[in-house]
Amino acid sequence: EEGIIKEIDISHHVKEGFEKADPSQFELLKVLGQGSYGKVFLVRKIKGSDSGQLYAMKVLKKATLK
């Protein structure tokens, strides 16, 4: 639903030995927020067992990582 954000503790959802996600596994849907360090996008997983699941992805500006 639009406007509803669910916060989860990812430590309960990430399991050891599972394949790490990379940006190619996601479809960018829209910008949720923007700040001085980067942007947060609403994304949909397009590969893997959780395909179709919605996530928030934070993308940091490269210059801020120095």
Output the known binding site.
Answer: 58
Output the known binding site for ATP.
Answer: 58
Looking at the DSSP assignment, which residues form a beta bridge with residue 27? Answer: 44
pLDDT interval class at 62 (50, 70, 90) = confident
Domain residue spans of the chain: 21-61
Q: Are 27 and 14 in contact (CB under 8 A)?
A: no
CATH 3.30.200.20 is held by the domain 21-61: yes
Distance CA 23, CA 26 (A): 6
Nearest partner of 57 among 38, 37, 45, 42, judged by Cα? 42
Which regions of 1-66 does DSSP assign to beta strands (E)? 26-35, 38-45, 54-60
Write out pLDDT tens, residues 1-42: 566 676 666 555 556 666 778 889 999 999 999 998 899 999
